[in-house]
Structure 1
Amino acid sequence: MAKPNFNDLLAFVTVAREGSFTRAAAVLGITQSALSQTISGLEARLQIRLLTRTTRSLSLTAAGERLLAAVGYRFDAIQIELDELTQMRDKPAGTVRITSGDHILRTTLLPKLTPLLLEYPDLHIEFDVNYGLRDIVADRFDAGVRMGDTLDKDMIAMPITPPLRMAVVASPAYFATRPRPKTPKDLLAHCCINQRMQTSGGLYVWDFEKKGRQVNVRVEGQLIFNTSPNIADAALAGLGVAWLPEEEFAPHLEEGRLVRVLEDWCPVFAGYYLYYPSRRQPSAAFSLVLQALRM
């Protein structure tokens, strides 16, 4: 009796998760035509269609969704066991995947993890720069980095920065022709630089607080970005008033390239946290990352 071969099931799981034959073929290291034949063979063997394919899209049938739910996590478990065996060598190894914003990546994650990477050449870290609230379990990340007030309750959260404050800034050239705002509502008369939230798709509402009084302002202006470095650059160019964590403006404020206003309306709030699933059993490689990032 021939031994079962599960390569076609692994191929199916990869296609389903990648949502593309092209990307799945690259992950598996085979040609797209070979992958297509493998999936067709699996469908023929099971005598049921698993995928609905058009020239532009790919989706799972009901049978495909059931099969993915039944076998997908089993391949994940096998990979975890293989990774743990690899980590039994003298030095920790494997890949740690982290999703975060680009500013915290440049200022905190990379500087703190650089010594770790130099010490352990078999350790690999993949960074995903993203401003949306990624589902790190579904997207198979080991951890994410976000501000403390945006984390799900079922996550383990570890602070990696001190508490933060927001800052409202503009260039001296901008304020040379406009009065500086004295209250948050004064911002409605200014050209403000907006931020599009990747998760909701809406524009960020600027939140202020002073002596227990909270004020939310929906600002308007000529520019909308979805990443903070562009917002800072636009403020430096004199294109409007910007609102970000003060650390993102720090060198520009110190050197006078930006001017801060409404500072008394910007209270301290929770800083950045590394978060990961509470049910996750940390690998040796991930444990090293936790230790390096711990304050």
Structure 2
Amino acid sequence: MKQNFTVRQGALDGVEAFLSVAQHRNFRRAATELGVTPSAISQAVRALEARVGAALFIRTTRSVGLTEAGEIFLARARPAFEELVAASGAARELGQRPAGLLRLTVPRSVVPILLEPLIASFCQAYPEIEVELAASEELVDLAAGGFDAGIRMGQFISPDMVAVRLTKPFPLVIVGSPAYLASRGRPARPDELREHACLRLRRSNGALAPWSLNDKGHSIEIAVAGPFIANDFPTMLGAAVEGLGLAQVPSPLAADAIRAGRLVAVLEKFVPMAPGVFLYYPSHRQIMPKLRAFIDHVKGRSRAAS
């Protein structure tokens, strides 16, 4: 199929000229209102009539009136055009100041340890922005899902995204409950994990994630086994607290349980470092003010914390 290299004239071409002439019943006054020549107004109206397939005005040397088709067209085109103008104004307003709905896709694990304090301070700073969090482990398409941005650990973010750091790098700790370790013993080396009940994570693509470890600077992966599989870190952490087995989770998520003595870290010398958590969004030339305000707020909080 042959492609056109120009955009065809749209149904709205000439509508503003028609509405102005219909209001003033005069081509010259319509031209003055729109800041164009009377000839330009006349050409626009004639082109519109040709596309509609009916005469819209009755023209004499002394007056301009509407035909029956013109009356019908005016009755339906005027409110539609006014709504279009209002929509343009509303969109323009969102493009000029931080306001509107900011939609973020986030994993469940970052909500309590990172986003709750951050979102609270952001909502207080920008009361005209509504924040919607969609908590999911799925790596969703931001554009297809209607999201302004996402939050994920750095290793899961596509390289074509712009990423803003939210946390420093942190270890992926291995933890177990005191009761579990008392009954099964404490592993001393990575290869001993094969003798333990290890809780596993199912990724969004359906695959079971191996455990990652670091042995004297060399990254290794171990296919562990155990009685429980979850699709997010908080659920897996809760199972570890209940004594179902060992779990490998981000250290900020396990910090409170470790401090409270409900979990104990093991194999500390072998745990790997994760790059941290990042806010990410598509690379656009123009970022909406609501997202720009959130990015600036994130950076400001990060500087204050460092």
Q: Paired residue for 2:286?
A: 281
Q: Paired residue for 2:116?
A: 110
Aligned equivalents of 2:172, 2:94: Cα separation in 1 = 44
Q: How far off its partner does 1:171 sit? A: 0.5
Q: Paired residue for 1:152?
A: 158
Q: Paired residue for 1:55?
A: none
Q: How far off its partner does 1:137 sit? A: 2.2
Q: How far off its partner does 1:87 sit? A: 5.2
Q: How far off its partner does 1:225 sit? A: 0.8
- Count, aligned residues: 218
Secondary structure of 1:249's match? Answer: helix
Q: Paired residue for 1:95?
A: 101
Q: How far off its partner does 1:81 sit? A: 7.6
Aligned equivalents of 2:87, 2:169: Cα separation in 1 = 37
Check conservation: 2:113, 2:252, Cα contact below 8 A. no
Q: Paired residue for 1:169?
A: 175
Secondary structure of 1:187's match? Answer: helix
Structure 1 stretches lacking a partner, 5+ long: 6-77
Secondary structure of 1:99's match? Answer: strand
Aligned ranges for residues 133-152 of structure 1 at < 5 Å?
A: 133-152=139-158
* Matched AA of 1:284: P
* Matched AA of 1:83: A
Alignment match of 1:215 (pick from 214, 220, 228): 220
Q: Deviations over 1:111-156 (max 9, x none)?
A: 1121221233321111111112111122221111111122111111
Q: How far off its partner does 1:256 sit? A: 1.4
Q: Deviations over 1:129-188 (max 9, x none)?
A: 111211112222111111112211111111010111101010010011112111222111
Q: Paired residue for 2:273?
A: 268
Q: Paired residue for 2:51?
A: none
Q: 1:249 to 1:79 in 2, by over 3 A?
A: farther
Aligned equivalents of 1:79, 1:100: Cα separation in 2 = 30
Alignment match of 1:228 (pick from 233, 236, 242): 233
Alignment match of 2:125 (pick from 119, 125, 128): 119
Q: Paired residue for 1:254?
A: 259
Alignment match of 2:91 (pick from 83, 90, 98): 83
Aligned ranges for residues 55-70 of structure 1 at < 5 Å?
A: none
Q: 1:267 to 1:228 in 2, by over 3 A?
A: closer
Q: Paired residue for 1:59?
A: none
Aligned equivalents of 1:280, 1:139: Cα separation in 2 = 20
Check conservation: 1:86, 1:94, Cα contact below 8 A. yes
Check conservation: 2:94, 2:288, Cα contact below 8 A. no
* Matched AA of 1:155: M
Aligned equivalents of 1:280, 1:102: Cα separation in 2 = 30
Aligned equivalents of 1:113, 1:233: Cα separation in 2 = 25
Check conservation: 1:97, 1:128, Cα contact below 8 A. yes
Q: 1:120 to 1:212 in 2, by over 3 A?
A: closer
Q: 1:95 to 1:182 in 2, by over 3 A?
A: same
Q: 1:86 to 1:132 in 2, by over 3 A?
A: closer
Structure 1 position 201 matched with structure 2 position 206: yes
Q: How far off its partner does 1:86 sit? A: 3.6
Alignment match of 1:244 (pick from 229, 249, 254): 249
Check conservation: 2:214, 2:270, Cα contact below 8 A. yes
Secondary structure of 1:232's match? Answer: helix
Aligned equivalents of 1:233, 1:269: Cα separation in 2 = 21
Q: 1:115 to 1:83 in 2, by over 3 A?
A: farther
Q: With structure 2 as the length reference, what TM-score do the two structures score?
A: 0.67
Check conservation: 1:145, 1:272, Cα contact below 8 A. yes
Aligned equivalents of 2:94, 2:145: Cα separation in 1 = 23
* Matched AA of 1:256: G
Secondary structure of 1:176's match? Answer: helix
